[in-house]
């Protein structure tokens, strides 16, 4: 009973929680009785998230761009104390190009959304976390299985994991971890792959040892583990269906 009560009192901030993995995580945490704040840039997508989660639990949404420090400061002023901070935010679509065609502005969007944003969340969120709190970032399989057109995403994913190692030491006893998804059927994947998304996902499913592509709920389960296991910090949890092995 005490564990259930403790979980009901969790206050969780999910940056990038208006769709995909973040939305799935929000749904599962709300079902546990947690209070969830979803932060995102798009008021329209936040409204859609509120509608999708209506009746599930205590959810709030705050419009904020985590790549802007003033927005992150305001975000934590509005949401107050938190037990866990999770970032699933990513703006990566335009950066999948071969190096000669790479647009620097698109590359900077990846860096800002997947590295600078999480860094700012840790900077301004850690003072509001209890000693038993945690921070979870989201990297990805590109750091381990890079492909042509994916150099920027691969580099940023690797940098994010190194950042987590350093922050796990600097911010201790607050725990800092990373979940590294493989190919997951989410809106961001469809944005990247376009009309070929379904065919590419099906082809990858045939290669993976588990025989299927990941779902948002698979990643949400991993994030919940990292949030709640008090003996895990400075770790990268690979949820990739065995992609690193093939």
As annotated, the active-site residues are 139
Return phi, psi of residue 118, to 5°.
Answer: -60, -35
Q: How far apart are CA 173 and CA 232, in angstroms?
A: 11
Q: How far apart are CA 73 and CA 173, in angstroms?
A: 22
Exposure string over 61-87, b if 16+ CB within 10 A, otherwise e: bbbbbbbbeebbeebbeebeebbbbbb
Phi-psi region of 214 (alpha: psi -120 to 50; beta: other; left: phi over 0): beta
In 67-172, alpha helices (H): 69-79, 104-111, 117-125, 151-170
DSSP structural state of residue 113:
I
CB within 8 Å of 61: residues ≥ 6 apart? 18, 37, 38, 39, 40, 46, 47, 49, 50
Closest CA to 51 of 10, 9, 18: 18
DSSP structural state of residue 196:
G
CB within 8 Å of 107: residues ≥ 6 apart? 95, 152
């Amino acid at each position: 009973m005490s564990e259930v009560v403790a979980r009901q009192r969790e206050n969780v901030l999910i940056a990038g929680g208006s769709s995909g993995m973040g939305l799935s995580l929000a749904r599962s945490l709300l079902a546990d009785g947690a209070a969830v704040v979803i932060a995102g840039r798009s008021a329209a997508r936040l409204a859609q998230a509120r509608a999708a989660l209506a009746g599930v639990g205590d959810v709030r949404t705050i419009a904020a761009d985590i790549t802007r420090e003033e927005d992150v400061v305001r975000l934590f002023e509005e949401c107050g104390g938190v037990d866990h901070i999770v970032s699933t935010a990513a703006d990566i679509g335009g950066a999948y190009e071969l190096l000669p065609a790479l647009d620097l502005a698109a590359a900077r969007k990846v860096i800002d959304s997947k590295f600078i944003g999480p860094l700012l969340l840790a900077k301004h969120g850690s003072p509001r976390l209890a000693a038993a709190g945690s921070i979870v970032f989201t990297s990805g399989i590109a750091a381990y299985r890079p492909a042509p057109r994916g150099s920027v995403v691969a580099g940023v994913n690797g940098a994010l994991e190194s950042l987590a190692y350093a922050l796990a030491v600097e911010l201790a006893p607050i725990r800092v971890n990373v979940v590294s998804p493989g190919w997951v059927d989410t809106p961001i994947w469809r944005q990247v792959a376009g009309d070929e998304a379904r065919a590419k996902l099906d082809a990858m499913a045939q290669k993976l040892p588990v025989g299927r592509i990941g779902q948002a709920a698979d990643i949400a389960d991993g994030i919940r583990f990292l949030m709640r296991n008090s003996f895990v910090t400075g770790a990268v949890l690979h949820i990739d269906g065995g992609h690193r092995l093939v």
